[in-house]
Structure 1
Amino acid sequence: MRHPAPSRTRITTLIAAALLGASASPALALDVETLVATGGRASGDDLARRISAARAFPLGSKDNPVRVALPSGQHAYLSHLRCSNGARPTFGRIGSFGPGPYDSIIDGYRVVCPGISEDAMLFMDMYHPEHRETAAPPGFTLVR
């Protein structure tokens, strides 16, 4: 059963309750579970519209971050990237860059290809457990 993403007000309430040690009701537990799974992102038809609109931008950009599940999904995806010269890139997380096009926080990764002078910055949204990205950003290929 899919649950709508909690509002920013609800997220703030959940965080405050957790910090203050408030007792959790079943509804609160469900909202916390949803928050962890979705990162507060858009859902349902709204999410589908946003994904469609994001396709107008290059994959891996701030406007079309690579959708993955959790930090392990970010690393798995990046480990399957290959540079234009076929080499395996090195990568490192730069940090969080605020809400992306799906309202969840996006992360930026510096991607370095050996033998290529220009580094790439790829943006990823780790709050998409139901999605497995099969495309590569411009200038890269993806091996499985």
Structure 2
Amino acid sequence: MKSMLIAAGLLSLCLAGAATAKPQMSTEDLLGLMLEGKSAVQGEELEEAIRTADAFPLGHAKNPVRVSQPSGERSYLNRLRCSDGNPPAYERLGSTGNSPYGNIMDIYAVRCEGSTPADSQVFMDMYHKGFSEPRPVPGFTAAQ
């Protein structure tokens, strides 16, 4: 029951933004895409949204890190390195708003204890099936 309530809440959040991105998309179609881990915006429309988002720093709410599923979020964050070469600590703060791609975003608190950047927030969009962002967010490097 709890998972159904969570799914319903996430769907309602996503519908608000996706409706403006693709007004002809039905609730059933949108839910199907979410369950498959696919973006609400696809094809040339997605490519244009990516070009527009790239005007903002990676990890910003207007340019969230694109990954595939929650495991992709964790994998991406596990590759980040603070300025001292150590991995940061991170914690999911929750879901927040819609991404430029019509999907729900997650926000993470990322902390480099005794290093820089000390405290950061990273916005992520996990509805990009098969994609894993190769670039690190500003202030970090990425482990190989």
Q: Tell me the TM-score normalized by structure 1.
A: 0.76
Give the match for residue 132 of structure 2: 132
Relative distance call for 1:40 and 1:140 in structure 2 (3 A) is closer
User: Mind listing any 5+ residue stretches in structure 2 that lack a counterpart?
Assistant: 1-20
Name the CA distance, whole Å, in 2 between partners of 1:125 and 1:136. 15
Pair 125,8 (structure 1): closer, same or farther in 2 beyond 3 Å: farther
8 Å Cα contact 1:112/1:120 also seen in 2: yes
RMSD over aligned CA atoms reads 2.2
> Residue type matched to 2:122 in 1?
L
Please tell me the residue identity of whatever aligns with 2:142. Answer: L
Contact 2:67 2:131 in 1 (8 A): yes
Match of 2:43 in 1: 44
CA distance in 2, matches of 1:125, 1:60: 9
What displacement does 1:46 show? Answer: 0.6
- Which residue of 2 is the match for residue 19 of structure 1? none
Matches of 2:98 and 2:38, distance apart in 1: 10
Unpaired runs of 5+ residues, structure 1, are 15-27
Q: Which 4+ runs in 1 deviate beyond 6 A?
A: none
Larger radius of gyration: 1
Q: TM-score, normalised by structure 2?
A: 0.76
Distance 1:114 1:34, change over 3 A: same
Identical positions, percent: 41
